[in-house]
Amino acid sequence: MSFLEDVDVDAAREPEPFRMPVQWVNRPHQDFRGFSGTISAGIVTVGDQVRIQPMGTIAHIQRIAHYDGDKNAAARGEAVTLVLDREVDVSRGAVICSAQQPASVAERIEAHVLWMHESPVQPGRQYLCKLGTATVPAVITKISGKIDVNSMQQLTTEQLEMNEIGICVVQFESQIPHDVYTTNRHMGGFIFIDRISNETVAAGMIISDVSIARNITWQQHDVSKATRSALKNQKPGVLWLTGLSGAGKSTIANLVERALAAEGKHTYILDGDNIRHGLSSDLGFAAADRIENIRRVSEVARLLTDAGLIVIVSLISPYQSERDRARRTIVTGEFIEVFIDTPLAECERRDPKGLYRRARAGEIRGMTGIDSPYEAPSNPEMHIETVNRTPEESAIMIVEWLRTHGHLQA
């Protein structure tokens, strides 16, 4: 036997803090509640004090259940069920870890990202990020550079192509427990999954946390959203009209606002073209710019609903994931997705701005429906087909939906 075969690799490791991502909550009956998973780092013993991240709750290990029977201790690589000494709120994706050396918790991290999809990275587009046992929505907000795999030098870039390794800032939708990859590859490695195709599009390794300003506080005011809404005698909401260019969104939005104004209701239209003249005048029409435009519009819509208004958004918004993200920005129950469904052939026949003609002639790139996809809503609150319906009839349908669902109080 060679010298290398005598080396105890695990003994040569530096002591590592305990980590166990929770895979599932084990509750076969009301008298037993444990948390099952595979230990990714360190050792745990009965009586140890642990911290559950991201909540930060402290508890002690009461039992370590194993298929061979209870154990006094368990180490990296073992699948166990941990029973705590008190009731705590723990679910899949949480991490039980050393109380003295807990896993980090952050909403934003910097990472090396290996891009694996034939289409380049679209900063701002939402993906599903799987890290440990947690799966959360996430976006790449910034590409700081990329690594030349031959020289290992960092190069400046704002784009990441297939098989390139970038240095990226990743924003999670919620706080997520993690370690840096060099410390714990199980807690520091992640993958990105496309929300539509379910394909794995990237793999990442966490470098560090990215600090977020913590010295800001949401300022509470005496006049509430409920008071503003009551003064207007209406329930606020966001009518999000989506569809191809030429589908009739702007025309229908205008008719809806006229009808609501006639009833004394308080509204505001956020029209895609008008937004481009001011709020988004610095954005183009590349996928990343469109995604950022939708993010800005949804944030403005949220503020306007806080003022008690009924907001009418008229925006192509071609990606389902971005419309879903807008929905999550708005208070639950106040986002109303309206699919203005007009076939591409009919939109091209109308072509009120001449965009389709120019796209077919190669003068415009990235035209939705021509060389850029449109993802039709999967489950909109309203689906309005316009071919055999006038814009006035479509507007009436929307107003009546608002009335039926309590947005227009008498």
Which two three-digit tokens encode residue 264? 């004394």
Closest by CA to 257, choosing from 249, 266, 248, is 266
Straight-line distance from the first to the last Cα atom of the chain, in angstroms, rounded to the nearest whole number = 89
Q: Has 224 been annotated as catalytic?
A: no
Question: What CA–CA distance (Å, rounded) separates 63 from 36?
Answer: 12
Q: What does the H/E/C string look like for 152-202?
A: CCEECCCCCCCCCEEEEEEEEEEEEEECCCCCCHHHHEEEEECCCCCCEEE
Which stretch of DSSP H or E encloses residue 287? helix 287-306
- Let me know if 100 is exposed, middle or buried by CB neighbors in 10 A (0-12, 13-18, 19+): exposed
- Between 287-306 and 225-232, two packed helices, what is the crossing angle to 10 degrees? 70
Report the C-alpha gap between 341 and 242 in whole angstroms. Answer: 8
Measured distance CA(111)–CA(141) in Å, rounded: 12
Q: Are 354 and 365 in contact (CB under 8 A)?
A: no
Q: To which residue do tokens 């029209």 refer?
A: 271
Report the chain's C-alpha Rg in angstroms.
Answer: 26
Determine which one of 317, 321, 372, 378 is catalytic: 317
Q: For residues 22 and 20, what is the distance between their CA atoms, to the nearest angstrom?
A: 6
Residues involved in catalysis: 317
